[in-house]
Amino acid sequence: MPWPFSRSGKSIADAAGPALELVDLHCHVLPGFDDGAPDLAETTAMLDGLASLGYARVAATPHVSADVSTERRAAITSRVAEVVASRGSRPPALAKGAEIMFDERIFDEGAARGLPGLAGHPIFLLEFGLGQASVPKGVEARLFRLTVKGVTIVLAHPERCPDFTRDLTRLEDMHRAGVVVQLDLMSLTGRHGGAARKAANLILDRGLADVVATDLHRAHDLSAVREALGILAGFGEAERERLVHENPLALWEGRAAEVRRHG
């Protein structure tokens, strides 16, 4: 499968060169684990499809709660190892992580450090609910206090959260507090609705996005990921590289302090 095409019709591979390796930090690829891949065959189709789009590294991020059990953490580790063993040397590389549903327990530093972090680093993908009033007042300052203690929070898909889309100043405050903002690529295609697409474009235009990720749940959505990568090319080569390669790679490698903000 060729790389996606930019708005101009030029292949992204032609524009960026084959050395650009895409990094996906949000993907529901573990078989039979949550609402993602139901079995290893689907996992294989998802990972092969991502590799064909240029993804060299993918983080497996099943849903967990803030009080995730030791057994579930161990199950994530075991399932990642099973997938890696099944694939041998075929790309992409796979790392463990989790998509953590927000609740107050995240602010207990000890509990926070026990959560499944990205590739073993104290870097946590956090999601708020997708309903109204799911982002508590004052949460920005509390997340800032976590960041100064060396805990990095990556905020999943704020463009799909009404509390942020209704008032982007809340997202701006969170961004200033050191939170890393992650957009779902497929929001750019309208896959998550018109409101999410509008918000995603506005967040990109305002320079609030630090990372884009697939949030892929099934192989049949790979075509939407491909389309979204083409749309992203319209924001400029340097910006696309920052969002799909430079910043996610820094997080993958535990270099959160090197995440480059827009501008």
Encode pLDDT of 242-257 as tens digits.
Answer: 999 999 999 999 999 9
Query: What number is the average pLDDT over the span 163-188?
Result: 94
What local confidence, expressed as pLDDT, does residue 130 receive?
85
Lowest-confidence segment of 8-22, 66-80, 111-125, 154-168 by average pLDDT: 8-22
CA distance 153 to 123: 6
Per-residue confidence band for 114, with pLDDT thresholds at 50, 70 and 90: confident
Worst-scoring range by mean pLDDT, 25-29, 51-55, 63-67?
Answer: 63-67
For residue 177, pLDDT over 70 is answered with yes
Q: Starting at the earlier edge strand, list the strands of the sheet with 93-96.
A: 22-27, 55-60, 93-96
**Using CA atoms, how far apart are residues 85 and 138, in angstroms rounded to an integer?**
44
- The answer to whether residue 21 scores a pLDDT higher than 60 is yes
Cα 196 to Cα 204: distance, rounded to the nearest angstrom: 12
d(C-alpha 231, C-alpha 110), whole Å = 41
CA distances from 109 to 29, 168, 187 (A): 28, 27, 32
**Residue that wins the pLDDT comparison between 18 and 39:** 39
- 83, 30 in Cβ contact below 8 A? yes
Residue 162 tokens, joined: 């009404």
Q: Of 9-18, 134-143, 226-235, give the lowest mean pLDDT range.
A: 9-18
pTM: 0.90
Specify the CATH number of the domain 19-258: 3.20.20.140
What pLDDT was estimated at residue 45? 98
Alpha helices by DSSP H, listed for the chain, are 12-16, 40-52, 70-87, 109-113, 139-147, 162-166, 168-176, 194-205, 222-233, 237-241, 247-252
For the cut 90, the answer to whether the pLDDT of residue 80 exceeds it is yes
Residues 26 and 217 sit within 8 Å (Cβ to Cβ):
no
- Domain segments of the chain as ranges: 19-258
pLDDT above 60 (res 8): no
